[in-house]
Amino acid sequence: MDRTFRQGYRFDGAAMTGGVRQVELDLYLAPDPGTLAILPARDGEPRRAQLFCWVV
């Protein structure tokens, strides 16, 4: 996770539209640490968090 916060996460843009998957890491997610929110735990489930990212 630390690396993803620093460098973002590269992915294939075709995956966003349901297109044919290619090995072209042409986009990346740039996380916005200011949007990190720890969500309340639900009965018997692990804790979760949400984080917004810029698609660049």
Torsion of CA 19, 21, 24, 30, to 10 degrees: 70
pLDDT on residue 1: 72
> Containing H/E element for 27?
strand 27-31
Q: Work out how many domains the chain is built from and give that number.
A: 1
Instruction: Kindly give the parts of the chain with pLDDT less than 50.
Output: none
pLDDT value, residue 51:
93
Q: Which domain holds residue 13?
A: 2-55
Distance CA(22)–CA(16), nearest Å, equals: 12
pTM: 0.62
The reported pLDDT for the residue numbered 30 is: 92
